Every structure is written in C-alpha cells, then in structure tokens.
Structure 1
Amino acid sequence: MIPEELLLKYTAETKRFQKDEIIFSEKQTAHYYYQIVSGVVKMNNFNDDGKEFIQGVFYKNQSFGEPPLFIDVKYPANAVAISDSTVLALSKSNLFKLLQDNPETHLKITQSLAKRLYYKAIIASEISSQEPAHRVLRFIDYLKDDVYKVEGKYSFKVAYTRQQMADILGLRVETVIRVIKSLEKKGDVKISKRKVYR
C-alpha cells in the first residue's frame, strides 16, 4: 500500500513474527502502523465461549490495525501471524509526518479504510439476514470483485480456508464445507486440489 522505500525513509522498523505469534492484543494502545512484507496476518476476537471470530485476514503489501491510530482508541481485536511473517512497523508520529508530506499516499490510505468500512457493512448485513449459501457466495464475490478486481469465471482462487470463512461469516465449518460442495454442483464455484475458485 505505502511503498516500502517510503516507509523505510521515515524510519520504519522491520519486525519478524513466527506463526501464531501475537503482534498486538485487543485493548492495547496503538503506537505503530503495520504493513506486511511477507506472510499472512489475521485480526480476531474471542467470544465468552472461546469461539474465534476473524475480523479480517491480511497479506503481502496490505496494512492492518490503522483505525485506532487516527482516533486514539485501543485496538478492538488481536493481530496474530498465521504464518511466519515479516512486517514493517512505523511509529504513529512518523506515519502522520509521512502522510502530511505525501498527500497522494494519504488519499490511498483513506480509500483503503473506506473499502474496509464498505466490506464490514456488507458482511454485517449478510450475517444478520441471509442463508449460508448466500453469505458464502457474497463474501467470495466481494473478494473477487471489490478487493482483488479479478475478471473471468473460475479465475479467482479463494485464499481463505473453510474454517476462516466460517469464523468470518459466523457459520460452523461443517456448514461452509457443505455449502461450497453445493455451490460446486450448481457451477457457481470450482474446487481443484481442495482450493475454491470463483
């Protein structure tokens, strides 16, 4: 999102996290802007019964956990490395200086946050009112059309596991597995080597 050379110019530090290592925890104060160089990071919460709810999964060149930096609130979720990951961390004060000095980058950050708000609104609506098959397909279409902007039938590979989709959509993993098989029979998705394509 922000060019790595620009982050390094403003003194970003390179941090490495092992799989399952916590990057920051819910209710901690936000001090850094984080952007992924390699690996995968999820943001999650747990309900009172210990069930995980995944807020989002982030990949190379994506940032995570920025909103609390701009509104001085604590993190609403944990950030955890799903795989061994390398992350650039830039202090809050230096991030603000970078954005003031580079208005085009500031606009990109604003657009990225707006996309996430749009996504949250759609997913909240889907979770509250729709059947599981509709939820799963709408989530995949959001990723294909709005996030990655991929065209063509079966051209988009879903990077989420069935468990991650279940955790994001508030479903049981067995339900997601059953729904995906049903969608494949209808020709809405294709499964190849356990990967889902839309």
Structure 2
Amino acid sequence: MIEAELLEKYGAVKKSFEKGEIIFEEGNLPAYYYQIVSGEIKMSNYNDDGREFIQGIFYKEQSFGEPPLFLNQKYPANSIAVEDSQILLLPKSNFMKLLEENPAISIKIIENLAQRLYYKSVMAAEISTHEPEHRVLKLIDHGIAYFNFQKDKNGYLINFTRQQIGDLTGLRVETVIRAIKALEKKGELKIINRKVYR
C-alpha cells in the first residue's frame, strides 16, 4: 500500500507479533496506522455465545484499522495475528501529516477504504438473502479479486480455511463443507489434496 521507506521516513517502527497475539482490542481508541510487512492479521468480534465473526483478513502490504483512526472512534473489533507477523506502526499524528503532504497516498487510502466498504455492502446483502453456496462463492470470488490469491494449473488457490469462510459468511463450518462439496459437484470449485481451487 504505502512504501515502507516513506512510512519509516515519517516515524513508523516495525514490530513483531506472534501467532495469536492481540494487536489492538475492541473498545480501545486508535493511536497508530498499521501496515503488514509479513504475516496475516484478522479483525473479529465474538457474540454472546462465544462465536467468532471475522470482519476481515489482511495480508502483506495491506493496512487495517483505519476507519476508527480517521473518526477518532473506539475500535469495533479485535485485531489478532493469525500467524507470526511483522507490522509497521505509524503514530496517528505522523500518519495525518503524511497524508496531508502526499495527496496521491490519500487517494490510495480512500480507494482502499471504498473497496472495503463495497465488500461489506455486498457481503451484508449476501448473508441476509442468499443460500450458503452462493455466499461461499461470492466470498471466494471477492477473495480472488481483493486478496490476490495465487493462480496455478489447478486455478486460484483459496487461502481461507473452512473455519475462516464460515466466520466471514456467518455460516457454520459443517455448512461451509457441504456448500464447498456441492459447488465442486457443480464444477464451480475443485478440491485437490484438501485444498480449494476456483
């Protein structure tokens, strides 16, 4: 997203997080702009029954947690390292200065936020009105476009686990497994060595 050198020029520091470590918690006020150098981060909430709902999954060179930073509102979700990760942290005031002095970066941030808002709108409609197979396929197609899943001779490798697909679509894992098998029978997906391809 933003060149690491530019972030460091404005005072960003690189910090390592171990798998399962919390980066920020729901209810905290934002203090930093976060951009992933390596690893994978998820933002999620838990309902009263302890069921997790993943708001988003973020990968190398992606940023996360910006809306509350701009609004000076508390984080609506927790941010957790899915695997060992390195993240650049830029203090809020430095981030705002970077945006003021680099209009092209501001446009990139706006486009990124617009993409996420679009995804949330699409998925909200999917979750409320469509069958599980449709929801799963919509999420996978969005993942291919947005998360740059790698393509090989089998097609696009879908890097989401069945659990993550369930948490992103509001479905139970068993329902996700059934939907994936049904989509395989219809020729929409391939399952090779337990991995899902589109």
The aligned residue for residue 117 of structure 1 is 117
The aligned residue for residue 100 of structure 2 is 100
Alpha-carbon separation, structure 2, partners of 1:76 and 1:168:
16
- Equivalent runs, 1:32-71 vs 2, <5 Å: 32-71=32-71
TM superposition shift of 1:195: 1.5
Alpha-carbon separation, structure 2, partners of 1:129 and 1:6:
43
Q: Percent of counterpart pairs with the same letter?
A: 59
The aligned residue for residue 79 of structure 2 is 79
Alpha-carbon separation, structure 2, partners of 1:73 and 1:144:
31
SS at match of 2:33: strand
The runs of at least 4 consecutive aligned structure 1 residues that moved more than 2 Å come to 145-155
TM superposition shift of 1:146: 4.9
CA RMSD of the aligned region, Å? 1.6
Aligned residues: 198
Deviations 1:55-106 (A, max 9, x none): 0110000001010111110000000001011000000000011111111111
1:9 maps to a residue whose letter is K
Deviations 1:24-65 (A, max 9, x none): 000100000000001100000000111100001100000010
Alpha-carbon separation, structure 1, partners of 2:68 and 2:89:
15
TM-score, with length taken from structure 2: 0.96
Alpha-carbon separation, structure 1, partners of 2:149 and 2:191:
20
TM-score, with length taken from structure 1: 0.96
Check the 8 A contact 1:145/1:151 in 2, yes or no.
no
Check the 8 A contact 2:149/2:158 in 1, yes or no.
no
TM superposition shift of 1:155: 2.7
Unaligned runs of 5+ in 1: none
TM superposition shift of 1:191: 1.3
Check the 8 A contact 1:154/1:189 in 2, yes or no.
no
Alpha-carbon separation, structure 2, partners of 1:136 and 1:164:
11
SS at match of 1:188: coil
TM superposition shift of 1:144: 1.8
Check the 8 A contact 1:157/1:196 in 2, yes or no.
yes
The 10-residue stretch of structure 1 (8-17 or 145-154) with the greater mean CA deviation from structure 2 = 145-154
Unaligned runs of 5+ in 2: none
